[in-house]
A and B are shown apart, each in its own frame.
Chain A
């Protein structure tokens, strides 16, 4: 397996259409990330990608200078944020600047990747 898992593909599809999405459990309501085919809280298989506000708080930003993939060298340096979504899970997301910790942001999916889009209004 080298591309996104079926669960991640489902998340990206819904997020692309709705702005953002997270996997959540239809039985217990738990939101989680990375996506998987069952709920990590109650183990229910009734999980799917559900629209989400994308509201999140920045935990930290790193500026990556070296990638393991030589093809990515022209894109370096690259900002990646660690964020905690309002729904609970934490995620990694691309950013266009080094957002300070505690900044309120909104997550969006573009071209199959999660981006820190802009501060939430």
Chain B
């Protein structure tokens, strides 16, 4: 064996050693940091002051009957308001709609709701174009049995950090939002916790910041079909509501026209929910997210959205119009003339 061969072998050995050491430390720190993130998360959830569902239900029950339950995400939070419904129909509606409350949250929430509040007559479910593409945020899910939730959220994989990157980002965003809230910035989270404020909330005016010009190129979004991330829970919820003989209104909320065109497969979206509702007695699909049904191009009806933006929320002016239309449709499901 000559000296160049042995020096090559020596270098190769060193290289393999360094590579193995790197992989070892990478896996070690990956696990350690992941444990660290989970421990920060656990401590954080313990510390954030959030009212329990029981408190909310107790406060609501003291006020009277709630024949209507409203479920959905932030688009429903800003788009459908119990106060408008009460003003127009004289019935109370309990709203449990907020950012990060996907189908899985709604399913578990309904189990708690029927236990404490009884079975409603009508459930209004605000459906989103992206609803099968979202996961309910973990901090909301902490209100329900933990074992199931942990299994749903945390994934295994060679890198725990990579596999659970989404959960880590969610935690950091939440911590930032919470910090903002503590400095008086984010009122929405305060409303979510305060049941009485939720009942009187009528949305916010449009800040007039929507870019109305249509760019030549903008990112488009496909419709993530059923079941997607939490579609099974959506189906389970509807099954449960059917068993409870609750009338279900699936409500397609209007999107700003730029967002409407960004979300390119509206026909698939309509077809899916249309078919879904037709096959199930007691389930009805009301799609207001259509240019011929709602003036989607009026920027003052929206808080945000635009070309290239996949999400859009109604302003107080926009939601007032939607709620008038919705109240007319809701009337028949409540058996009113």
Q: Are A and B subunits of one complex?
A: no
Interface residues of A (CB under 8 A from B): none
